Amino acid sequence: MTNDRTVDAVIVGAGFSGLYQLHRFRELGLTTRVFEAASGVGGTWWWNRYPGARCDVESLAYSYSFSPELEQEWTWSEKYATQPEILGYAQHVAERFDLERDITFDTRVESAVYDAERRRWTITTDTGEVVDCRWFVMATGCLSVSKAPEIPGAERFQGPTYHTGHWPHEGVDFTGQRIAVIGTGSSGIQSIPIMAGQAADTVVFQRTPNFSMPAGNRPLTEEEVAARKATYREYRKAQQLSTFGVPVPEPTQSALEVPEEERTATYQAGWEQGNLVAVLASYTDTLVDKDANETAAEFVRSKIREKVRDPELAELLSPRSFPYGTKRPCLDSGYYETFNKDNVHLVDIRRTPLVEITEKGVRTSENEYEVDAIVFATGFDAMTGAITRVDIRGKNGVSLKEKWGEGPRSYLGLSVAGFPNLFTITGPSSPSVLSNMMVSIEQHVDWVTDCVRWMRDNGVEELDATPEAEDEWVRHVEEVGDTTLYPTADSWYMGSNVPGKPRVFMAYIGGVGVYRERCDDVAAKGYEGYTKYPDVTAAPEKQSA
Ligand code: FAD
Ligand code: NAP
């Protein structure tokens, strides 16, 4: 295992981003160290082991494209792979490309300080290691810092508590128990049907109902796997050029210009595909026009009413406070149907707020619910949480956390002005969580790799985004965001789930394909929007002056 104290590059995180970045840096011949807080590779898929955890982008699309051999030798078994299968894939990749020898596990990076004179970073870990490097990559994930609910008293509870984002490796059997589940986002929606199937009694505490559609999960047939394997190259190209990293036919019509019957039939066809973007991408204006959006939202609510027998309960489970798609939609396997069971109860904590966790359970303004175990499915300090938890100091000792005090600012979601040679994989202001993340991860890693190769080949020791380029990108991301309905929702995309977090739309909704073109253009223009040292892109007369 590499344990050098001076290397070319340090990468933080050994999820899909960090693994691929390590592989690409190796190809460049860089000496690289990766630090990972977990005891193994896989990131999201190492931590999120709750019952029912799966991808919700189809397995045949949610995988690396960089190695045709890997594509051919790996075979997904289900339409939506389980967490163990995806973790197995990450482990297979690490083994196949011999990655682990450069990864230091069980080690958290605590700080990173830029030395402007030497143009190098000093990285310090919680085990006391200090490593010096030229390039520093934060591959720390958009959804890797789990968020506890802001309810007093959790330490008093006499039974076990669990968070979906760091679930025990040995699993949990709730058979015969009374359980409380707080949170109804994707993690809650995936896990509740399974946990409620085991438990004697389940109480679900819902702050905001979500839009979910049936995943229609099933084993993949040999024929469909073979068909995708035979056409992977064309398919990957289509992914890269698409809006969400999932190729679907581009819509051409407004939802409001087609007759209701036809519209419902279109939504129904999307619904039956069990594909997150199918209904969303049915019409051009679903994400930009409230009335158009309402047609899709009402379609999903009609499905909830079909599934849930008690009309009052169906209404409680029906989202009305935000447009469809502006909080991350979910895929489920029997979520709404679970509430038809007599031993499953829904508590609307908008009406009767959570007051505290007691020795015996959960107390709302109306009741105390005595339970044997509590599950927090309360999500993440998304997008910025993992980055600002590291004390990153750029030029003149400026703290990244302080710089981002009013919300993240970056150039392309890849670089931050004043923090040279630092790259953030799927950083805020890039398409990241609004896409099939494998596509966005590979695009970022490939761009960073090309950039580092260019720096090395041209003798450039320092590359720093200019404040002007950063301002322009921040403005652009905001302007594009403002043409959509996303900023109208209280979502984790907006930072609204974390008390005190600035309200900023943290992702780029211009589309994966459009964004890729912009990044490629910046590179083609000699890394436009960056200062370089030495400035190899300056006009010759300026260089010699
Ligand atoms: P991560 O997988 O989050 O890895 C980051 C790693 O960095 C973590 O292992 C963490 O321990 C480590 N780390 C962070 N900070 C430090 C530090 N300071 N020091 C050391 N190590 C550190 N996306 C999709 O596109 N499709 C899906 O179906 C999908 N399903 C998901 C399901 C769940 C339950 C969750 C939570 C997310 C899902 N996502 C999905 C998003 C998912 O996070 C990405 O697809 C992808 O796995 C992210 O990979 P990553 O390497 O960028 O980050
Ligand atoms: P989430 O979407 O943020 O959901 C968290 C839930 O907890 C929400 O219902 C939230 O309510 C509630 N909550 C948070 N704090 C609370 C508090 N203090 N009191 C009461 N309720 C509280 O988190 P997640 O479900 O873990 O999912 C996060 C993201 O990870 C997803 O959006 C998705 O991108 C990814 N993911 C994907 C899958 C998949 O299917 N492949 C599965 C899991 C996760 P509010 O809505 O009111 O904030």
Alpha carbon of 101 to ligand 2 centroid (Å):
35
The whole domain housing 108 covers: 9-41+99-145+382-542
Identify the pLDDT of residue 2.
65
How far is the centre of ligand 2, averaged over its atoms, from the C-alpha of 379 (Å)? 4
143 CA → ligand 1 middle, Å: 6
pLDDT score, position 538? 79
Domain boundary among 376, 391, 419: 376
Residue 366 CA to ligand 1 center (angstroms) comes to: 38
How much distance in Å is there from the Cα of 437 to the middle of ligand 2? 17
Does the residue 366 lie in any domain?
yes
- Which pLDDT band holds residue 3 (cuts at 50, 70, 90)? confident
pLDDT, the chain, mean: 96
Average pLDDT, stretch 325-336? 97
What pLDDT, in 10s, does the model give residues 216-274? 999 999 999 999 999 999 999 999 999 999 998 889 999 999 999 999 999 999 999 99
Q: Which ligand is nearest to the CA of 13?
A: 1
Q: 380 CA to middle of ligand 2, Å?
A: 7
Query: Domain check: are 330 and 393 in the same one?
Result: no
In a domain, 244, yes or no: no
Band (149; pLDDT cuts 50, 70, 90): confident
Dihedral pair phi/psi, residue 93, rounded to 5°? -60, -45
Do residues 415 and 268 share a domain?
A: no
Atom of ligand 2 nearest to the CA of 80: 41
Q: Best of 389, 434, 437, 493 to mutate for ligand 1, by most ligand atoms within 8 A of CB?
A: 437
Distance CA 215, CA 274 (A): 4
Boundary of a domain, candidates 324, 358, 376: 376
pLDDT tens by residue, 104-132 = 999 999 999 999 999 999 999 999 999 99
Which residue of 80, 85, 143, 448 sits with most ligand 1 atoms within 8 Å of its CB, as the best mutation to test the pocket? 143
Ligand 1 centroid vs 351 CA: distance in angstroms?
34
Distance CA 25, CA 438 (A): 18
Backbone angles phi, psi at 531, to 5 degrees: -90, 150
Q: What angle do CA 66, 71, 72 make, to 5 degrees?
A: 140
Which tokens hold the place of 192? 């509740």
Answer whether residue 327 is part of any domain.
yes
542 has pLDDT over 60: no
Model confidence over 297-319: pLDDT tens digits?
Answer: 999 999 999 999 999 999 999 99
Same structural domain, 372 and 386: no
Nearest ligand to the CA atom of 183:
2
Question: Minimum mean pLDDT among 389-393, 514-518, 540-544: which range?
Answer: 540-544
Q: Is residue 70 part of a domain?
A: no
Question: Which ligand places an atom closest to the C-alpha of 350?
Answer: 2
pLDDT, tens only, 15-64: 999 999 999 999 999 999 999 999 999 999 999 999 999 999 999 999 99
For residues 109 and 190, membership in a common domain is answered with no
Residues 345, 215 share a domain: yes
pLDDT for the residue 545: 35
Q: Are 426 and 441 in contact (CB under 8 A)?
A: yes
Which atom of ligand 1 is closest in space to residue 186's alpha carbon? 34
Is residue 62, in this structure, part of any structural domain at all? no
- pLDDT tens per residue across span 335-387: 999 999 999 999 999 999 999 999 999 999 999 999 999 999 999 999 999 99
For ligand 1, atom 14, name the residue with the nearest CA. Answer: 140
Mean pLDDT of 169-180: 97
Is the overall model pTM greater than 0.95, yes or no?
yes
Residues 395, 264 share a domain: no
**C-alpha torsion angle, residues 167, 170, 175, 179 (rounded to 10):** -20
Pocket test for ligand 2, best of 205, 328, 369, 433 (most atoms within 8 A of CB): 328
- Ligand 1 atom index nearest CA of 35: 20
Last residue of a domain, one of 376, 403, 435: 376
In a domain, 534, yes or no: yes
**Using one digit for the tens of pLDDT, what is the confidence trace for 368-378?**
999 999 999 99
Residue 544 has pLDDT above 60, yes or no: no
3-state secondary structure labels for all residues of 463-528: EEECHHHHHHHHHHHHHHHHCCCHHHCCCHHHCCCCCCCCCCCCCCCCCHHHHHHHHHHHHHCCCC
What is the number of structural domains in the chain? Answer: 2
Residue 431 sits in the same domain as residue 296: no
3-state helix, strand, coil in the chain (%, to 5): 35, 20, 45
Q: What is the DSSP letter of 279?
A: H
Q: Residue 286: which pLDDT band, with cuts at 50, 70 and 90?
A: very high
Instruction: Show the ligand 2 pocket: residues with CB < 6 angstroms.
Output: 54-56, 143, 149-151, 164, 182-188, 190, 207-208, 328, 331, 349, 354, 377-380, 433, 492, 497
Looking at the CA of 362, name the nearest ligand.
2
Distance in angstroms (rounded) separating the CA atoms of residues 80 and 84: 12
Three-class secondary structure assignment of 405-432: CCCCCCECCCECCCCCCEEECCCCCCCH
pLDDT at 543 over 50: no
